[in-house]
Structure 1
Amino acid sequence: MLFVGVLYPLIGLFVAAVTLEGALLPLFFPLVAGLSIVGPLVAAGFYEIAKRRAEGEEAGWSHFLDPLRPARRHGILAIGAMLIMLFFAWLLIAWTLYQATLGRLEPRGLGGFLHALFTTPEGWTLIVLGNAVGACIAALTLALTVVSVPMVVDKPVSGITAVRTSIRAVSANPMAMSRWGLMVALILAAACIPLFVSLAVALPVLGYATWHLYDMLVER
Structure 2
Amino acid sequence: MTENSQLPADGADSQYRPMPVVRPITTSDVLDALASGLRDFRKAPIYGLGIGAFFAAGGLFIVLSASALGMSYLSYPLAAGFALIGPFAAVGLYEVSRRQEIGAPLSWHAILGTMWAQKSRELSWMAFVVLFVQIMWMYQVRLLLAVFLGFQSFTSFQDFISEIVSTPEGLMFLAVGHVVGAILSVVLFSLTVISFPLLLEEDRDFITAMITSVKAVAVSPVPMIGWAGIVTVTLMLSMAPAFLGLIVTLPVLGHTTWHLYRKCVEPEAAAATGSPV
TM-score tier (shorter): over 0.9
2: CA distance, partners of 1:67 / 1:4 = 12
- 1:75 maps to 122
Q: How does 1:134-145 map to 2 (within 5 A)?
A: 134-145=181-192
| 1:22 to partner: Cα distance | 4.6
- Determine if the alignment matches structure 1 residue 88 to structure 2 residue 126: no
- 2:24 maps to none
Q: How does 1:97-116 map to 2 (within 5 A)?
A: 97-116=144-163
- 1:33 maps to 80
Q: How does 1:190-205 map to 2 (within 5 A)?
A: 190-205=237-252
Note closer, same or farther for the CA distance 1:159–1:68 as it changes in structure 2 (3 Å cut): farther
1: CA distance, partners of 2:78 / 2:231 = 18
- 1:50 maps to 97
Letter in 2 for 1:161: T
Give TM-score scaled by structure 2 length: 0.75
1: CA distance, partners of 2:169 / 2:159 = 14
| 1:104 to partner: Cα distance | 4.5
Note closer, same or farther for the CA distance 1:111–1:190 as it changes in structure 2 (3 Å cut): closer
| 1:57 to partner: Cα distance | 1.5
- Determine if the alignment matches structure 1 residue 123 to structure 2 residue 123: no
Deviations 1:64-105 (A, max 9, x none): 2314326x8422111111111111111111111111112355
Q: Which has the larger radius of gyration?
A: 2
- 2:30 maps to none
| 1:141 to partner: Cα distance | 1.2
| 1:177 to partner: Cα distance | 0.8
Higher helix share: 1
- 2:218 maps to 171
- 1:215 maps to 262
Name structure 2 gaps, 5 residues minimum.
Answer: 1-46, 268-277
Partner of 1:194, secondary structure, is coil
Note closer, same or farther for the CA distance 1:128–1:87 as it changes in structure 2 (3 Å cut): same
Give TM-score scaled by structure 1 length: 0.93
More RCO (CA 8 Å, sep 6+): 2
Residue of structure 2 aligned with 1:11, choices 41, 45, 58: 58
Does the 8 Å contact 1:19/1:28 carry over to 2?
yes
| 1:7 to partner: Cα distance | 1.5
1: CA distance, partners of 2:175 / 2:98 = 40
> Which moves more between the two structures, 28-37 or 60-69?
60-69
Partner of 1:202, secondary structure, is helix
Aligned length: 219
| 1:110 to partner: Cα distance | 2.2
Q: Point out 4+ residue stretches in structure 1 off by more than 3 angstroms.
A: 20-23, 103-108
Letter in 1 for 2:116: L
1: CA distance, partners of 2:236 / 2:205 = 32
Letter in 2 for 1:170: V
2: CA distance, partners of 1:26 / 1:110 = 5
Letter in 2 for 1:46: L
Question: Equivalent pairs: percent with the same residue?
Answer: 30
